[in-house]
Structure 1
Amino acid sequence: MAISRRKAVKLSSRLQSQGGSNFRKVDLKRAIDGAQRVGMDIGAVEIRPDGTITIRAAGEVASSSNELFERWEERL
């Protein structure tokens, strides 16, 4: 069953208004596979509402967490 262009736009608008995003699982899988192929140890994956996929290396995540803790500790 084909969806007319008008219906496709309405479905897309409805998904976005309900908090849906523009990414597909296959895009996420490809991004993760690509990062792993080049030897990256994945620490975190972020998917933004516009569909942007950000992959952070394990070392980046650990240092970021440590920096946040140190800033918090300094305020005490």
Structure 2
Amino acid sequence: MRSFFSSLAARLRRDQRGATAVEYGIMVSLIAVVIIVAVTMLGGTLKDTFTQVQCSVSSGTYAAGADAGKATCTPK
């Protein structure tokens, strides 16, 4: 009986099929975290940039806010 469990444990240690799936899962989750952090950090800056472009297209006056994402556009 002991030899059966010993050989079973040895076979399970050599079997690497599930390891790559776990590694890919970890990589995908880390990439998702990096994307979320980047979007969160750049969100306000992107909003200000689009507000400035919109203001330029509509010939308004652009006023940058003190904080990111707080810019305003007043029409002429």
| TM-score, length basis structure 1 | 0.36
| TM-score, length basis structure 2 | 0.36
Larger fraction in helix: 2
